[in-house]
């Protein structure tokens, strides 16, 4: 068959997708998608047909985390983690800088939104029974994400360095210091000493903007990888097969021997 001459549209599409193809070619291996293919698979993969808006809560929580990360990076450009200037820098961000009140407000209220969405997401997973085999590990990772999210809120609460922040942190750290045996030592490590001081603020700032977000990002990555790897679960009342490549209802394939979905058991999940 003779090759047809590429149209102008083909040429434009080729030029536009050239960078993506370039990237894909250099990140793929025989039989495996590269970066672009992986993203396309992640975005357009098949999911059970009868999932609902409840299944979007995880994505909503991820969006809230991204908002927190972006606004946090911007706030870090203006915030000064020093006892003598922390409160003043917060006031400067809120009152003087253009849209500073908005970005700080997004970060302040977004923190609560993130935690609320995590709880709603967990509630959906729990009620759908989606924490059961083979998704137990993802549930455990989700619980760790929730714990780290709350810890992130605890460390961030001190940063405005006002009376509320100070005394809430005094009480919070002392609560943890009442843990048996290691509690007193944990309290001193958190404070950077026997009492809250300049080191405490810097320590909390480091934990709030580097350590915990880094751990959260890693766990979220793992969480997403497992979601893609195992697939989205159908609602408990669904007749549909779930998994990475959901199959037809069991009734339609009665008597047929179907191969197990990749990386999962054959039973309905």
Partner 1 sequence: MNPRRDVDPHEGQGTSHEPTPTIWPVGFAVGVACIFVGLIISKIVLVVGVVIAAIFGILWIRDATRPFRGAEAPSETEAPKPLPPGRMAAHKDGPDPGEGAVVRFPRSKFLEATTLGLGGLIGVIVTAPVLGFTILPPFIKQGHPKIDVGAIDDYPENKFVIATFMLKPEDGEVSRRTAYIRNNGLLGESPSFTVLSNRCVHLGCPVQVNGLPLADETKTEKTATNTVTRIPTAAAAGFGCPCHGGQYDTEGNRTAGPPVRALDRYEFEIVNGRLLLGKTFSVSEVDGTGADAKIHTYPLAGPGQHVDGPEGWLYPVQPPR
Q: Which is nearer to partner 1, 118 or 201 (by Cβ)? A: 201
Closest separation in Å from C-beta 22 to partner 1: 19
202 counts as binding partner 1 under rule CB under 8 A: no
Give, in order, the Cα–Cα distances in Å from 188 to each of 32, 120, 162, 253: 50, 35, 21, 63
Total of residues contacting partner 1 (CB under 8 A) = 27
Structure tokens at 93: 């961000």
Q: Which is nearer to partner 1, 74 or 165 (by Cβ)? A: 165
Using the rule CB under 8 A, which residue among 38, 134, 153, 184 binds partner 1?
A: 184
Find out whether 62 and 42 touch, Cβ atoms under 8 Å. Answer: no
Q: Which stretch binds partner 1 (CB under 8 A): 17-25, 181-189, 231-239, 244-252?
A: 181-189
Q: What is the contact mask toward partner 1 in residues 129 to 168, using x (rule: CB under 8 A)? A: --------------------------------------x-
Find out whether 118 and 140 touch, Cβ atoms under 8 Å. Answer: no
Q: Which is nearer to partner 1, 167 or 225 (by Cβ)? A: 167
Peptide bond before residue 134 is cis, with ω within 30 degrees of 0: yes
Closest separation in Å from C-beta 206 to partner 1: 10
Using the rule CB under 8 A, which residue among 31, 181, 237, 251 binds partner 1?
A: 181
Rounded-to-integer distance, Cα 5 and Cα 66, Å: 45
Closest separation in Å from C-beta 111 to partner 1: 23
Find out whether 172 and 164 touch, Cβ atoms under 8 Å. Answer: no
Closest separation in Å from C-beta 197 to partner 1: 6
Rounded-to-integer distance, Cα 24 and Cα 246, Å: 26
198 counts as binding partner 1 under rule CB under 8 A: yes
* Cα 100–chain centre separation: 25
Q: What is the contact mask toward partner 1 in residues 60 to 89, using x (rule: CB under 8 A)? A: -----------------------xx-----
Q: Which stretch binds partner 1 (CB under 8 A): 31-39, 133-141, 146-154, 194-202?
A: 194-202
Q: Which is nearer to partner 1, 82 or 227 (by Cβ)? A: 82
Using the rule CB under 8 A, which residue among 156, 160, 187, 246 binds partner 1?
A: 187
Which residues of the shown chain bind partner 1 in the complex (CB under 8 A)?
83-84, 167, 170-171, 173-175, 177-178, 180-181, 183-185, 187-189, 191-199
């Amino acid at each position: 068959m003779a090759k047809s001459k590429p149209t102008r549209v083909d040429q434009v599409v080729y030029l536009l997708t050239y960078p993506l193809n370039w990237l894909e070619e250099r990140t793929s291996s025989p039989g495996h998608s590269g970066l672009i293919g992986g993203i396309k698979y992640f975005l357009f993969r098949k999911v059970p047909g009868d999932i609902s808006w409840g299944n979007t809560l995880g994505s909503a929580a991820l969006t809230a985390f991204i908002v927190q990360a972006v606004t946090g990076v911007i706030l870090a450009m203006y915030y000064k983690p020093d006892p003598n200037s922390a409160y003043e820098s917060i006031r400067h961000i809120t009152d003087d800088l253009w849209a500073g009140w908005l970005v700080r407000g997004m970060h302040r209220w977004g923190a609560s939104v993130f935690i609320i969405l995590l709880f709603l997401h967990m509630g959906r997973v729990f009620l759908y029974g989606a924490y059961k085999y083979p998704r137990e590990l993802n549930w455990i990772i989700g619980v760790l994400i929730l714990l780290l999210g709350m810890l992130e809120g605890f460390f961030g609460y001190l940063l405005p360095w006002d009376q509320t922040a100070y005394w809430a942190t005094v009480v919070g750290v002392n609560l943890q210091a009442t843990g048996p045996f290691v509690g007193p030592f944990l309290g001193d490590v958190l404070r950077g000493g026997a009492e809250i001081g300049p080191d405490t603020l810097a320590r909390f700032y480091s934990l709030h903007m580097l350590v915990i977000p880094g751990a959260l990002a890693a766990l979220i990555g793992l969480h997403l990888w497992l979601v893609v790897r195992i697939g989205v679960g159908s609602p408990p009342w669904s007749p549909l097969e779930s998994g990475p490549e959901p199959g037809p209802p069991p009734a339609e394939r009665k008597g047929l021997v179907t191969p197990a979905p990749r990386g999962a058991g054959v039973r309905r999940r």
